[in-house]
Amino acid sequence: MQTTYDKVVSVCSYCGSGCQIEFTVDKKANRIISAKGAPGRTNEGRLCLKGFYGWDYLNDPQILTRRITSPMIRKGGKGSPLEPVSWDEAIAYAAERLKAIIKEYGPDSVMGAGSARGPGNEAGYITQKFMRAVVGTNNVDHCARICHAASVAGLKQSIGEGAMSVSVPEIEDAEVIFNIGYNGATSHPIVARRIIKAKAKGAKIICADPQISETARIADIHLQQKGGTNLLLLNALAYTIIDEHLTDDEFIKAHVNGYEEFVPKLAKYAPEAVAAEIGVSALAIREAARLYASSKHSVILWGMGITQFSQGVDSVAACSNLALLTGNYGHYATGVGPVRGQNNVQGTCDMGILPDVYPGYQSVTDDAMREKFEKAWGVSLPSEVGLKLTQVPDRVLGEPDIKKRIHAYYIIGEDPAQSDPNLEEIRETLKQIDLVIVQDIFMNRTSEYADVLLPATAWGEHDAIYTCCDRGFQRVRKVIEPPEGVKPDWEIQSLLATAMGYPMHYHNTKEIWDEMRKLSPKFTGATYEKIDALGGVQWPCYDESMDDKGTVFLHEGGHFATPDGRGNLIFTDYEPVKEEVDEEYPMSFCTVREVGHYSARTMTGNCRMLAKLEDEPGWVAMNPEDCENLGVVQGDLVRVRSRRGSLITRCLPTERVKPGSTYMTYQWWIGACNELTNTALDPKSKTPEYKYCACRVEKLDDQAEAEAYVQSQYALIRAKMGIEKAGANA
């Protein structure tokens, strides 16, 4: 008999491009057979390799880690093994311990981390509701902190709204693209496709990046700046725009505050004065400014090369300054694109998994907003802004008063022991916290420190809404049935809330979404029905009627989301990075992404096709000249050392990077670059300076011994994650 297959359309679980995928499913065998691009708004039927092959982890091939299919606790306390228990026992245990900690140290001794990955917006809403209404704290945050938090903070000051003002499809109609600190070809291949389409339609491209990225290769002007000089460069561009009268005076007059004060502050940023420090010619800076200002359809795209610096927020505002000065806001195919990374990181912000806002960006310090949520949730809510993710180590290791420390950390779908800076410090932090609850789909580096493990359904096994990078809500559908023993994230948290004395009884994600919509004016109009009918809705969408189809670009007509409706020019003086190279650590160290693997890699590392692309211990990219001086060739194992730690990885000579600099991807356990990264934070957003610190690369004389070490370490870590024989379930 012929097998009949079903078709299910959903949204990709990796990056923020928001690609829609059509799956062919064998329902009887409960397996996905294949994936192909569906005609989504952002992807138009296209996918990258992760869309085509990134669902295989649902088959639990056990290549890297093991799927968690039962709740686990350490019955004998810290140091004892994690043992499988029933859901009832796990929930009761977690609830009792949380209640005891809250009783002894107060609600602010609990920290919650939400997930920008599989769970989706409905679960995200429940995450922050749990922390605020049940625990009683605003200590809730997520990976945006170590990602685009600087974009949210910088744009909020500048134009009142932290999201992309421009939409993905508009990028191809831009006439000038200024791509700074963003490597779309690796990080958002289907957004990068629009840059290529724009080029084909005649757009000019300026790329500011210290390495020769794919975008740099097709750029008309590549500003191959020294790492960490963004604000110097951006101020020099603003200087030039003003100096050469390239400003849009009418737009400034009608829509922008602060011009008079802004101009004199730039005096020392003439390209001729700062070019040498940036490492590019003054003429190139002037030409870039002229090109950017030459069009009313100039779009600035940025990513981690802007935000992951101690001056991230100021650099974001400086990007926005250029758009304000030249009138590049408020109409089609113009504006700014802080291209949000994770599949649902925009959504996790939308849902208020942030220490300062409720869902819909409503401030926790605003009395009227707080009263609205108090009434809806039937509790009294804290009025102080909560703790940020990157402040946790300090509130554990650096806090002398035991009463003020964090005593419980509830981590949902994040892997801080892999992805946060300075892993030595994170490990010590996690060890010292009394109660660590990890809610995940796979064993990860953090689960080693868990006192309670709660297994969730994965993307593909539940319904949800994700928000892609350009504010687009899209429906994510259940494709197959989950393994026995796991529950949706929102259901787990509802059980925990109920056990803690705050009953939560939702039947499905729609009920949660409707509760959220009613409380969040910006999202009220985005009903399930409308999202289904239109294939997606971009917020803001205020009205439930079908007439309100959402918003393609923000700030129409130059009306900004600030209190007075005007954009603000914000000036900050440039400061150098927090750790420069010196004699002891003579190379700069930058951390970026691997195209075939994704973040902490629990998912891509458990997909057979993707796992074959790259494996431990990763690579350190170095200029061939530096490799030659060190006497190493491609594939040699080398030791990379910083003031905070060391690791072993393989040497990758490449002309893409300048002499004196090194690049690693953050996907590896043995080559875990966060052993080396600096914990210097942006003072406003608390985003770490992942993109620059000092390191030293050392040749390893005994390669056979080093290879054996890598293999044994790999086996050891996998064994901790429950993998005895790699690929056992493949």
The footprint of ligand SF4 (CB under 6 A) covers: 12, 14-15, 17-19, 43, 47-48, 50-51, 188-190
CB of 415 to Mo ion, least distance (A): 12
Residue 150 tokens, joined: 């600087």
Q: Which residues lie across from 333 on neighbouring strands?
A: none
> What CA–CA distance (Å, rounded) separates 104 from 98?
10
Task: Kindly determine how many residues on this chain lie close enough to bind ligand MGD according to the rule CB under 6 A.
Answer: 61
CB of 547 to ligand MGD, least distance (A): 34
Write each residue from 610 to 649 as x if it is in contact with ligand MGD (CB under 6 A), else as -, in one continuous string.
----------------------------------------
DSSP one-letter code for 136: -
> What CA–CA distance (Å, rounded) separates 125 from 412?
13
Q: Does 489 bind ligand MGD (CB under 6 A)?
A: yes
Piece of the chain touching Mo ion by CB under 5 A; list 144-152, 547-555, 629-637, 647-655 = 144-152
Show Cβ contacts of residue 483 under 8 Å, excluding neighbours closer than 6 positions.
Answer: 60, 67, 69
> Which partner, ligand SF4, ligand MGD, Mo ion, none, binds residue 335 by CB below 5 to 8 Å per kind?
none
Residue 464 tokens, joined: 């949800």
> Which partner, ligand MGD, ligand SF4, Mo ion, none, binds residue 444 by CB below 5 to 8 Å per kind?
ligand MGD
Q: Does 319 bind ligand MGD (CB under 6 A)?
A: no
Q: Does 343 bind ligand MGD (CB under 6 A)?
A: no
Q: Which residues lie across from 416 on neighbouring strands?
A: none
Piece of the chain touching Mo ion by CB under 5 A; list 145-153, 277-285, 402-410, 548-556 = 145-153
Q: Does 421 bind Mo ion (CB under 5 A)?
A: no
Piece of the chain touching ligand MGD by CB under 6 A; list 115-123, 242-250, 500-508, 720-728 = 115-123
Residue 679 tokens, joined: 């914990």
Q: With 0-12 CB in 10 A as exposed, 13-18 as middle and 19+ as buried, what is 676?
A: buried
Residue 427 tokens, joined: 């490990």
SS3 620: strand
Ordered DSSP codes for 459-520: TTSS-EEEE-TTSEEEEE---SPPPTT-B-HHHHHHHHHHHTT------SHHHHHHHHHHH-
CA dist 180 → 222, 298, 339, 721 (Å) = 10, 13, 11, 38
Helix pair angle (312-326, 149-159), 10° resolution:
40
> What CA–CA distance (Å, rounded) separates 141 from 389?
6
With respect to ligand MGD, which residue has the nearer C-beta, 138 or 493?
493
- Confirm if 359 and 275 have CB atoms less than 8 A apart: no
Q: Which residues lie across from 363 on neighbouring strands?
A: 357
CB of 496 to ligand MGD, least distance (A): 13
With respect to ligand MGD, which residue has the nearer C-beta, 560 or 585?
585
- State the Cα torsion 458-463-469-470 to the nearest 10°: 180
CB of 306 to ligand MGD, least distance (A): 6
CB of 183 to ligand MGD, least distance (A): 3
H and E: helices and strands count for the chain:
25, 28
Q: Does 15 bind ligand MGD (CB under 6 A)?
A: yes
With respect to ligand MGD, which residue has the nearer C-beta, 187 or 326?
187
Q: Which residue's C-beta sits nearest to ligand SF4?
A: 51
Among 147, 150, 166, 221, binds Mo ion (CB under 5 A): 147
Strands of 155-297, DSSP E: 176-180, 204-208, 221-223, 256-257
Give the helix/strand (H/E) hosting 425: helix 423-432
Q: Does 598 bind ligand MGD (CB under 6 A)?
A: yes
Residue 65 tokens, joined: 């880690």
Q: Does 413 bind ligand MGD (CB under 6 A)?
A: yes
Angle (CA) 502 354 150, round 5° = 175
Among 440, 470, 579, 689, binds ligand MGD (CB under 6 A): 440
> Which partner, ligand MGD, ligand SF4, Mo ion, none, binds residue 690 by CB below 5 to 8 Å per kind?
ligand MGD
DSSP one-letter code for 648: E
CB of 131 to ligand MGD, least distance (A): 15
> What CA–CA distance (Å, rounded) separates 460 from 474?
14
Q: Could you say which residues in the range 258-297 bind ligand MGD, by CB under 6 A?
A: none
Q: Does 588 bind ligand MGD (CB under 6 A)?
A: no
Q: Does 416 bind Mo ion (CB under 5 A)?
A: no
Q: Does 146 bind ligand MGD (CB under 6 A)?
A: yes
Q: Strand 335-338: give its sheet, edge to edge.
A: 221-223, 204-208, 176-180, 298-302, 335-338
With respect to ligand SF4, which residue has the nearer C-beta, 51 or 112?
51
> What CA–CA distance (Å, rounded) separates 432 from 406?
9
> Which partner, ligand SF4, Mo ion, ligand MGD, none, binds residue 315 by CB below 5 to 8 Å per kind?
none
Piece of the chain touching Mo ion by CB under 5 A; list 171-179, 210-218, 334-342, 372-380 = 334-342
CB of 221 to ligand MGD, least distance (A): 13
Write each residue from 336 to 355 as x if it is in contact with Mo ion (CB under 5 A), else as -, in one continuous string.
-----x--------------
Q: Does 338 bind ligand MGD (CB under 6 A)?
A: no
Ordered DSSP codes for 521-576: GGGTT--HHHHHHHS-EESP---SSTT--B-SSSSGGG--SSTTS-EE--------
Piece of the chain touching ligand MGD by CB under 6 A; list 71-79, 154-162, 323-331, 669-677 = 669-677
With respect to ligand SF4, which residue has the nearer C-beta, 191 or 693?
191
Q: Which residues lie across from 498 on neighbouring strands?
A: none
CB of 675 to ligand MGD, least distance (A): 10
Among 62, 230, 334, 679, binds ligand MGD (CB under 6 A): 230
CB of 304 to Mo ion, least distance (A): 7
Show Cβ contacts of residue 29 under 8 Å, excluding neighbours closer than 6 positions.
Answer: none
CB of 334 to ligand SF4, least distance (A): 23
CB of 304 to ligand MGD, least distance (A): 4
CB of 683 to ligand SF4, least distance (A): 32
Among 40, 136, 271, 305, binds ligand MGD (CB under 6 A): 305
> What CA–CA distance (Å, rounded) separates 34 from 7?
10
Among 361, 490, 690, 714, binds ligand MGD (CB under 6 A): 690
Chain residues binding ligand MGD by CB under 6 A are: 15, 115, 117-119, 143, 146-147, 180-183, 186-188, 208-211, 213, 225, 227-228, 230, 303-305, 308, 341-342, 412-415, 419, 439-442, 444, 456, 458-459, 489, 590-595, 597-600, 602, 666, 673-674, 677, 690-691
Q: Which residue ranges make up the site for Mo ion (CB under 5 A)?
A: 147, 341
